[in-house]
Structure 1
Amino acid sequence: MSDESLNPSSLTTNGRLVAYSQSVKAGLQHGIEFTKLFDQLTNTTDPNELLAASTSLFDFQMDTEYVVYPHKYDANDYYLIFMSRLLELHDDKEAVLHSREDNLKADTLFQTFPNIDDTEEFHFEQRPNQDGAFYVEQNSHQVIFSLNLKEKTMYFNSDTITKLFITEWSGKSDNAAVSDAVDLFIEFGKYLVSDFGFNVDFNMLDAANDKKYVLAKADLSDQIMDKLFVVTADNQLMLQNMDEVQGAFLDLGNQIIFSLYKQNGADGSAHWVMTVQDPKEQYSLFDIFNQFAFLKKWFLDNLDDLQIGSKMV
């Protein structure tokens, strides 16, 4: 189209008709480009193509000035489809993707998990002035993790791990069902690392022996350690003081060691941390609380002091 067409007032009647036709064609072609990406998202078996399509669709604006598509998915839905497809490519099918009819747009998408309360539905949401999307439980809008496909980052939210996984879910489902659902989130994070090199902070779900779960509060009351001593003694275990630092450790059997101690930084700063160590690196802090009821109760009873810090807002 010539430069003259950029100024509608300068066009002849025929010129306006030609410009209109070209604009409609451009809008339709834009829609075709969308369908190519959407087909790639839903059909590809190549993880890199899956990531590329999801990232492009998240920012894709279907509508043009002359062509408006009334039924379209939200940007967040492409993250949800990406998550479901990546799990599918790794033969992890515990998360079930559902579609609910919506007359105002394309169908509403959400996930559920077997053996977890049917009212628990999950999807992605965007938040003002924050990049990427947040995977949330729909009823409470509690954020389980943040995900940014463009920046290749994923951060689990310690507050939700405590409130949803350790507290609410444990009252609705047995420990095995909760662990299965949480394991799926962990596996998804691991696939992001192995397939694409994402930076993933598993927070309380990290089972590595060198993981230090840093408490949000810098100071810790002596009463917290005293209470831990009492509950361990009540369960025929012995809380033992650490030699080189201020703190204590607890042998839970099977070479599983839980520790709470003050770590001093090279810059003179100090903060309290929890650690979990076992020979096969199978137990995270979440697993410890899920398996040992007395430690879970101690943690929840003193949550104001013991809440684990998080990178998430």
Structure 2
Amino acid sequence: MSNESLNPSSLTTNGRLVAYSESLKAGIQHGIEFTKLFDQLTDTKDAGELLAASTALFDFQMDTDYVVYPHKYDANDYYLIFMSRLLELHNNKDAVLHSREDNLKADTLFQTFPNIDDSEEFHFEQRENQDGAFYVEQNSHQVIFSLNLKEKAMYFNSDTITKLFITEWSGKSDNEAVTNAVDLFIQFGKYLVADFGFSVDFNMLDASNSKKYVLANSELSEQIMDKLFVATADNNLMLQNMDTVQGAFLDLGNQIIFSLYKEINADGSGHWVITVQDPEEKYSLFEIFNQFAFLKKWFLDNLDELQIGSKMS
């Protein structure tokens, strides 16, 4: 089409008809490009192709000035399909993807987990002025983790780990069901690292011995250690003071060591941290609370002071 035809006011009647036809064809072709990416997202067996399609679809604008598609998925849904497909590629099928009919757009997508309360549904949401998407429990909108496919980054939210996994779910479901659901989130993060080189902060779900769970509060009251001492003594364990730093540690058996101490920065400022160490690096802080009820109770009873720091509001 000539440059003159780009200005509608300069077109003849026939030129306008031709321009209209060309615009329709372009809009339809744009839709075909979408279907190619969507087919790749839903059918590919290659992890790299899966990530490429998901990333492209998240930013894909289907509608053009001349062709509008009334039924389409939200950008967030492509993240959810990506998550389900990546788990599927690794033969992990514990998360179930559901579709609910929606007359206003393409069907609404969400996930559930076996043996977790049926009212618990999960999907991705976008947040204003924040990149990527946030995996949330739909009723409470609590963020479990943030995910950015373009930046290859994932971050677990300590607030939700505490409120949803440690508190609410433990009252609704058996420990094994909760552990299995949390393990699935952990495995998803590990797949992102192994398959694509993502940067993943597992937060309270990190079982590596080098992990330091930094408390949101820089100072703790003296009563915190006193309460921990009483809790451990009531369970026939002995809380022991550390020699070189302000803090204490607890031998939970099987070479599992739980520690709470103040770490001093180079500038003289300090912050309190919890660490968990075990020979096989199987125990995250979440797992410690899951296995040792008295520590979980001590943590929740003093949550105002002991909340683990989070990058999310």
TM superposition score normalised by structure 2 = 0.99
Q: For residue 55 of structure 1, what is the aligned residue in structure 2? A: 55
Residue 312 of structure 1 and its aligned partner are, at CA, apart by 2.2
Residue 4 of structure 1 and its aligned partner are, at CA, apart by 1.0
Amino acid at match of 1:96: V
Q: Secondary structure at the match of 1:185?
A: helix
Cα deviation per residue 1:67-103 (whole Å; 9 max; x = unaligned)? Answer: 0000000000000000000000001100000000111
- Unaligned ranges ≥5, structure 1: none
Residue 267 of structure 1 and its aligned partner are, at CA, apart by 2.5
Amino acid at match of 2:26: A
Residue 224 of structure 1 and its aligned partner are, at CA, apart by 0.4
Q: For residue 282 of structure 2, what is the aligned residue in structure 1? A: 282
Seq. identity, %: 87
Q: Secondary structure at the match of 1:229?
A: helix
Amino acid at match of 1:234: D
Partner Cα separation in structure 1 for residue 269 and residue 49 of structure 2: 45
Residue 266 of structure 1 and its aligned partner are, at CA, apart by 1.8
Instruction: Assess if the C-alpha contact under 8 Å between 1:155 and 1:312 holds in 2.
Output: no
Q: For residue 169 of structure 2, what is the aligned residue in structure 1? A: 169
Residue 6 of structure 1 and its aligned partner are, at CA, apart by 1.7
Instruction: Assess if the C-alpha contact under 8 Å between 1:44 and 1:50 holds in 2.
Output: yes
- Unaligned ranges ≥5, structure 2: none
Residue 269 of structure 1 and its aligned partner are, at CA, apart by 2.0
Partner Cα separation in structure 1 for residue 175 and residue 130 of structure 2: 34
Q: For residue 251 of structure 2, what is the aligned residue in structure 1? A: 251
Q: Secondary structure at the match of 2:57?
A: helix
Partner Cα separation in structure 1 for residue 181 and residue 23 of structure 2: 48
Q: For residue 14 of structure 2, what is the aligned residue in structure 1? A: 14
Residue 268 of structure 1 and its aligned partner are, at CA, apart by 1.9
Cα deviation per residue 1:16-42 (whole Å; 9 max; x = unaligned)? Answer: 000000000000000000000000000
Residue 310 of structure 1 and its aligned partner are, at CA, apart by 1.3
Partner Cα separation in structure 2 for residue 170 and residue 191 of structure 1: 26
Q: For residue 261 of structure 1, what is the aligned residue in structure 2? A: 261
Q: For residue 40 of structure 1, what is the aligned residue in structure 2? A: 40
Q: Secondary structure at the match of 1:105?
A: coil
2:144 is aligned with 1:144: yes
User: What is the correspondence of 1:61-140 to structure 2 with a 5 Å cutoff?
Assistant: 61-140=61-140
2:307 is aligned with 1:307: yes
Structural RMSD (CA): 0.6
Amino acid at match of 1:269: S
Amino acid at match of 1:222: E
Cα deviation per residue 1:32-56 (whole Å; 9 max; x = unaligned)? Answer: 0000000000000110100000000
Q: Secondary structure at the match of 1:267?
A: coil
TM superposition score normalised by structure 1 = 0.99
Partner Cα separation in structure 2 for residue 181 and residue 84 of structure 1: 14
Q: For residue 241 of structure 1, what is the aligned residue in structure 2? A: 241
Moved over 2 A (4+): none
Partner Cα separation in structure 2 for residue 97 and residue 269 of structure 1: 47
Instruction: Assess if the C-alpha contact under 8 Å between 1:299 and 1:306 holds in 2.
Output: yes
Partner Cα separation in structure 2 for residue 204 and residue 5 of structure 1: 61
Partner Cα separation in structure 2 for residue 2 and residue 63 of structure 1: 24
Amino acid at match of 1:189: G
How many residues align structurally? 313
Partner Cα separation in structure 2 for residue 5 and residue 50 of structure 1: 40
Partner Cα separation in structure 1 for residue 250 and residue 174 of structure 2: 25
Partner Cα separation in structure 2 for residue 101 and residue 2 of structure 1: 45
Partner Cα separation in structure 2 for residue 272 and residue 248 of structure 1: 11
Partner Cα separation in structure 2 for residue 167 and residue 4 of structure 1: 67
Q: For residue 220 of structure 1, what is the aligned residue in structure 2? A: 220
Cα deviation per residue 1:173-215 (whole Å; 9 max; x = unaligned)? Answer: 1111100000000000000001001010000000000100000
Partner Cα separation in structure 1 for residue 123 and residue 252 of structure 2: 37
Partner Cα separation in structure 2 for residue 153 and residue 17 of structure 1: 48
Instruction: Assess if the C-alpha contact under 8 Å between 1:250 and 1:258 holds in 2.
Output: yes
Residue 225 of structure 1 and its aligned partner are, at CA, apart by 0.5
Partner Cα separation in structure 2 for residue 227 and residue 103 of structure 1: 56
Partner Cα separation in structure 1 for residue 296 and residue 171 of structure 2: 13
